[in-house]
């Protein structure tokens, strides 16, 4: 009996943990059926969201969250917040130009 437990323990030794980027690509692949069911414009938006996850993969790997999807959502939200900030800055510049005499 003791020998069996040693063998089980040895089998688990040496296994490496999948990197965040590999896990991310695996999770994105799981959503492929969903993406295929979207209309063209929505599929493009979905791809941009997944690209945001890839862009912030380094930050996501440092988040050490047990649920990968949480880091993905935060990456998407951060990307959208940056876009909102850029749009607001552009709008402010346009408003200033329109208000100048």
* Residue 67 belongs to some domain of the structure: yes
Asked if residue 94 is part of any domain, the answer here is yes
d(CA 68, CA 81): 20
Question: For residue range 31-59, what is the model confidence (pLDDT) as tens digits?
Answer: 999 999 999 999 999 999 999 999 999 99
Query: Is 7 inside a domain boundary?
Result: no
Question: Is residue 95 a part of any domain in this protein?
Answer: yes
Examine residue 87 and state whether it is found in any structural domain, yes or no. yes
Question: What is the span of the domain harbouring residue 35?
Answer: 17-99
Looking at the domain assignment, is residue 80 inside a domain?
Answer: yes
Q: Is 63 inside any structural domain?
A: yes
Burial of 71 from C-beta contacts in 10 A (0-12 / 13-18 / 19+): buried
Is the pTM higher than 0.85? The answer reads: no
Per-residue pLDDT tens digits of the chain, which is 101 residues long = 445 555 544 555 566 788 999 999 999 999 999 999 999 999 999 999 999 999 999 999 999 888 999 999 999 999 999 999 999 999 999 999 999 87
Q: Is 3 part of a structural domain of the chain?
A: no
Q: What is the pLDDT, as a whole number, of residue 13?
A: 59
- At a CB cut-off of 8 Å and minimum separation 6, what does 25 contact? none
Looking at residue 1, what is its pLDDT?
A: 46
Structural domain tally of the chain?
1
């Amino acid at each position: 009996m003791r020998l069996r437990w040693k063998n089980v323990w040895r089998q688990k030794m040496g296994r490496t943990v999948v990197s965040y980027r590999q896990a991310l690509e695996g999770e994105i692949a799981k959503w492929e059926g969903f993406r295929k069911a979207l209309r063209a414009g929505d599929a493009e938006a979905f791809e941009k969201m997944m690209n945001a996850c890839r862009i912030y993969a380094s930050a996501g790997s440092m988040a050490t969250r047990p649920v990968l999807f949480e880091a993905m959502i935060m990456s998407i939200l951060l990307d959208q917040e940056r876009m909102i900030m850029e749009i607001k800055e552009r709008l402010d510049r346009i408003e200033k130009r329109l208000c100048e005499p």
